[in-house]
Amino acid sequence: MTKVFHEKDGNLDFLKGKTIGIIGYGNQGRAQALNLRDSDQVVIIGNRDDIYKERAILDGFETYTISEATKKSDILFLLISDEIMTDVLKKEIKPYLEKKHKLVFASGYTIAFDLLKTPSFVDVLLIAPRMIGVGVREKYLTNEGFYSFISIHNDASGKTQETLLALCKALGTLKKGAIEVTFKQEAVLDLFNEQAFGPAFGQVLLNSIYTLIDAGYPPEAVLVEMYMSEEMAYTYEKMSKIGLVKQTNLHSNTSQYGAMSRGIKYQKLPFKRIMKKILENIESGSFAKEWDSKITKAKYKIIKFFAMKTKINRLEKMVRENLKLKEFDFEELSKPAAKDILQELESIKEEIKAFEDFFYEY
Ligand code: NDP
């Protein structure tokens, strides 16, 4: 049986006298720091000298450099981006680690795929919220809590489990439930959702949209019907609260019959075969290796550029204007592809062309 921990399983006494250092005051960092402080914990912040640090000061926290915060803390929450975790840990944290330290990760990625090594004399824990930072804070304030995946990678002190559950309680995740997994399982589940379900769902949505638009339906009505009304968001919420199939009872009989009788037409599509390949690629560490390489970073920039130039973005712009909705501009995304990026990708130019064609279609 998978272990799931709740409020009664955590005891805050295990955190008495401990200072918690939050490394990185970003999305998760800010939310988790505020939750821990509201649960009467002593919290300090370690961040580079920039706007995030200013935010922490405005929120009333004592802030330090990452190395200083490491020295002053007993428990360190590593809430910096996964891409720079290895580098920051090596240069700014590892040299100051002592036996007293416990390292808490919010993602199993770097440990699961051997991108960093932690010293054997420190406890290494995972508390990975299944929730964006803003939600971690909101669900704490509303007392609902949020799910987390939790794990212990190294139990040097022999008391890591008690600390882990106490921290979960202070963060507010035990109100909903903390589910025990391994670091690798957490990382794979996260990547699989992003790489298998996410893009498949995107393709289903885009194909639905263009089937209707090509048949002459007004774009405003199509986009509202497919996602802008937020009806799908409600349905998703009901799936989680009532059940994937059971929630269909909230829809009309016509809707239920239509959906259930037509679902069978998709039965033979090779979703599972493609998804199994994606899963194997993640589990074997091939994806982590690919993402870690220099050429992939350049490839990512150019793919993102193509994606931002797709037809749906132009269509949305027109629809949003007509519906009097705010337009969000992500400046760096609209910059033209720099020639030097393309030069870097000369060796994989056919692959890049395939991405350009793929995004051009939509
Ligand atoms: P953010 O991108 O919001 O924050 C990143 C933090 O890293 C900022 O404080 C940033 O500070 C700091 N940072 C970036 N570059 C450097 C650098 N070179 N040196 C030092 N500090 C740096 O990250 P998230 O909060 O999204 O993610 C943090 C962790 O939480 C990750 O492990 C992620 O996988 C995990 N997680 C995230 C979730 C989410 O919804 N976002 C959900 C669950 C887990 P500055 O800009 O000042 O350098």
- Average pLDDT, integer, range 127-155: 98
What's the pLDDT tens digit per position in 334-361? 565 666 787 788 888 888 889 888 888 7
User: What separation in Å is there between the alpha carbon of 26 and the centre of ligand 1?
Assistant: 5
- Average pLDDT, integer, range 300-307: 89
Ligand 1 pocket: which of 22, 25, 28 to mutate (most atoms within 8 A of CB):
28
Q: Of 193, 188, 114, 182, whose CA–CA distance to 149 is shortest?
A: 182
The CB of 126 under 6 Å from ligand 1? The reply is no
Cβ partners under 8 Å of residue 216, min gap 6: none
Residue 294 pLDDT > 90 = no
**Which pLDDT score, from 0 to 100, does residue 336 have?**
57
Both structure tokens of 158? 């022999």
What are the domain boundaries of the chain?
4-181, 187-361
The CB of 107 under 6 Å from ligand 1? The reply is yes
> Count of CB atoms within 10 A of residue 225's CB?
16
Atom of ligand 1 nearest to the CA of 84: 18
* Rounded-to-integer distance, Cα 129 and Cα 146, Å: 7
177-191, 296-310, 325-339: lowest mean pLDDT where?
Answer: 325-339
Listing DSSP states for 6-24 in one string gives -GGG--GGGGTTPEEEEE-
Q: Of 67, 117, 70, 77, whose CA–CA distance to 98 is shortest?
A: 70
Instruction: Assign domain 4-181 to its CATH superfamily.
Output: NAD(P)-binding Rossmann-like Domain (3.40.50.720)
Atom of ligand 1 nearest to the CA of 110: 32
The CB of 80 under 6 Å from ligand 1? The reply is yes
Both structure tokens of 123? 């406890």
Ligand 1 pocket: which of 79, 116, 124, 125 to mutate (most atoms within 8 A of CB):
79
What's the pLDDT tens digit per position in 4-37? 999 999 999 999 999 999 999 999 999 999 999 9
97-101, 130-134, 286-290, 300-304: lowest mean pLDDT where?
Answer: 300-304
Q: Of 50, 46, 41, 88, whose CA–CA distance to 69 is shortest?
A: 46
pTM as predicted: 0.92
Amino acid at 154: N
Task: List b or e across 261-296, with b for residues whose CB sees 16 or more CB atoms inside 10 angstroms.
Answer: eeeeeeeeeeeeeeeeebbebbbeeebbeebeeeee
**Which pLDDT score, from 0 to 100, does residue 308 have?**
86
The CB of 84 under 6 Å from ligand 1? The reply is yes
The CB of 269 under 6 Å from ligand 1? The reply is no
Residue of minimum CA distance from atom 11 in ligand 1: 24
User: What separation in Å is there between the alpha carbon of 78 and the centre of ligand 1?
Assistant: 9
* Rounded-to-integer distance, Cα 278 and Cα 94, Å: 34
Mean pLDDT of the chain: 94
What's the pLDDT tens digit per position in 183-218? 999 999 999 999 999 999 999 999 999 999 999 999
Q: Of 101, 57, 104, 41, whose CA–CA distance to 77 is shortest?
A: 104
DSSP secondary structure letter of residue 114 = T
Q: Of 23, 240, 272, 250, whose CA–CA distance to 131 is shortest?
A: 240
Cβ partners under 8 Å of residue 302, min gap 6: 337, 341, 342, 345, 352, 355
Residue 154 pLDDT > 70 = yes
Q: Give every strand in the sheet of 102-105, ordered side by side.
A: 4-5, 177-180, 147-154, 123-129, 102-105, 75-78, 19-23, 42-46, 62-64
Both structure tokens of 184? 């690798």
What's the pLDDT tens digit per position in 224-276? 999 999 999 999 999 999 999 999 999 999 999 999 999 999 989 999 999 99
Ligand 1 pocket: which of 45, 47, 81 to mutate (most atoms within 8 A of CB):
81
- Average pLDDT, integer, range 49-77: 97
